[in-house]
Amino acid sequence: MPLLPFKPLLVAAALALLSVQVSAEPLPELRGTGDLGVVIERASGSVALVDTTRREVLRHIEGFGDLSHASVKFTRDARHAFVFGRDGGLTKLDLLTGEIVGRIIQSGNSIGGAISQDGRFVAVGNYEPGGVKVFDTQTLELVADVPADYATPDGGTAQAKVVGLVDAPGNRFVFSLFEAGEIWTLDMSDDEPVLDKYRDVGKEPYDALITANGRYYIAGLFGEDGMALLDLWHPENGVQRILPDYGRGEERLPVYKMPHLEGWAMAGDLAFFPAVGRHEVLVADSDDWSLVGRIPVQGQPIFVMSRPDERQVWVTFAHPDNGRVQVIDTQNLEVIETLAPGESILHKEFTPRGEHIWISARDSNQVVIYDTRTFEELARLPAESPSGIFFTHRAHQIGL
């Protein structure tokens, strides 16, 4: 048998060894982002990246600054999450790598934001200085700066806190000015932004929502009973006042925390709202926005959220009643279940089709998961003072 030359033999051996080494390395996990989510860990300035199918925490990620009041929006491809921090930080997180890929401090105090319909812009609502800043979602480059200037009664000028910032169809952003009692729309569909202002909408709009079809923007009023509604299909009609007398002549209870309208509930033609200073969930007819019912609940409601199939409404409460969650049946308009997941319950999120709900038990340092049909507890996940919970299906919903 003829011998092979020594040098080619060494080369052949090296190639064989290399092929073995390459094939032995594990392939990276290929996955989508549809079952991912983010849980805000407010005490540590971190977030927990979670898998909603496996019901597990994938990793804890630090470096987000002050998350004492934070919210999250997702890019249209659901690859990245923008985290809005109370310190004015705007942080971009890659959900697949679990790494921060961009962070700027764009103000002194921010309250939340939104991503435009086409996905090009991320807008931030600011308390200090009051106004809205718009950034390129790819580069975080500033695109527009809109101070919330308004005329004061003494003839001067001040800047209002911006609240209730949402995205709307047509690449618009809509937001409210707390001290000014105004609602503004910012149209980013052309090269030059267009700003429209609606004044005297009511006293102290404190939060707002937009309906799932993007038509109605509704701001709650802290300084008076009722709400302010802007029909974005017919903005020429101005702002309409709805539910103006739901508490007239009644004594308010102490307000320990402002209700959030962003997590309101719709079920068929009915809308469910948290009542300010009352232990009630209000029910309105969305055809004419008249009050049609009041549902007694255990405390001051904060988040009133509908299961995706609109069969149930889940309610969380302000201190001192914030250790429990109540479930309302949307057919008979009655409380059908009360749960006690842990201490300091506030934030919650349904899985995309609503079979499960994730609930933050902040002072128990846990996220608790329930089956929404049987109310069975399914899991408890560790988290550092968890608050807001945000799943990636929000990327494809108006206003979320």
Give the CATH number for residue 312: 2.40.10.480
Give the CATH number for residue 140: 2.130.10.10
Asked whether residue 221 falls in the same domain as residue 205, the answer is yes
Q: Average pLDDT for residues 13-25, to the nearest whole number? A: 43
In a domain, 215, yes or no: yes
In a domain, 280, yes or no: yes
In a domain, 275, yes or no: yes
Which range, of 23-27, 63-67, 256-260, 344-348, averages the lowest pLDDT? 23-27
3-state SS, the chain, equals: CCCCCHHHHHHHHHHHHHHHHHHHCCCCCCCCCCCEEEEEECCCCEEEEEECCCCEEEEEEECCCCCCCCEEEECCCCCEEEEECCCCEEEEEECCCCEEEEEEECCCEEEEEEECCCCCEEEEEEEECEEEEEEECCCCCEEEEEECEEECCCCCEEECCEEEEEEECCCEEEEEECCCCEEEEEECCCCCCEEEEECCCCCCEEEEEECCCCCEEEEEECCCCCEEEEECCCHHHCEEEECCCCCCCCCCCCCCCCCECCCCEEECCEEEEECCCCCEEEEEECCCCEEEEEEECCCCEEEEEECCCCCEEEEEECCCCCCCEEEEECCCCEEEEEECCCCCEEEEEECCCCCEEEEEEHHHCEEEEEECCCCCEEEEEECCCEEEEEEHHHHHCCCC
Give the pLDDT score at 265.
84
In a domain, 221, yes or no: yes
Higher-pLDDT residue of 48 and 221 is 48
Asked whether residue 149 falls in the same domain as residue 217, the answer is yes
Task: Give the pLDDT band (50/70/90) at residue 222.
Answer: confident
Statement: residue 187 has pLDDT above 50? yes
Give the pLDDT score at 251.
55
Task: Give the pLDDT band (50/70/90) at residue 247.
Answer: low
In a domain, 22, yes or no: no
Asked whether residue 289 falls in the same domain as residue 204, the answer is no
In a domain, 274, yes or no: yes
Q: Of 314, 340, 366, which closes a domain?
A: 340
Asked whether residue 331 falls in the same domain as residue 271, the answer is yes
Asked whether residue 113 falls in the same domain as residue 252, the answer is yes
Give 130's strand partners: 127
Statement: residue 13 has pLDDT above 80? no
187 and 155 in contact (C-beta within 8 Å)?
no
Asked whether residue 114 falls in the same domain as residue 188, the answer is yes
Asked whether residue 189 falls in the same domain as residue 297, the answer is no
Task: Give the pLDDT band (50/70/90) at residue 278.
Answer: confident
Query: pTM, whole model, 2 decimals?
Result: 0.89
The CA-CA-CA angle for residues 217, 219, 221, to 5°, reads 165
Higher-pLDDT residue of 126 and 286 is 126
| Contacts of 54 by beta carbon, 8 Å cutoff, 6+ apart | 35
Asked whether residue 313 falls in the same domain as residue 191, the answer is no
In a domain, 89, yes or no: no
Asked whether residue 207 falls in the same domain as residue 265, the answer is no
Asked whether residue 219 falls in the same domain as residue 319, the answer is no
Percentage of residues in the chain with pLDDT exceeding 90? 75
Q: How many domains does the chain have?
A: 2
Q: Of 257, 289, 324, which closes a domain?
A: 257
Nearest C-alpha neighbor of 399 from the set 218, 148, 140: 218
Asked whether residue 175 falls in the same domain as residue 267, the answer is no
313 and 326 in contact (C-beta within 8 Å)?
no
Q: Of 257, 273, 294, which closes a domain?
A: 257
Which range, of 5-9, 106-110, 296-300, 318-322, averages the lowest pLDDT? 5-9
Domain that holds residue 301: 260-340
In a domain, 206, yes or no: yes
Asked whether residue 233 falls in the same domain as residue 277, the answer is no
Structure tokens at 351: 């899985």
Percentage of residues in the chain with pLDDT exceeding 70? 88
Give the pLDDT score at 225.
78
Q: Average pLDDT for residues 88-109, to the nearest whole number? A: 96
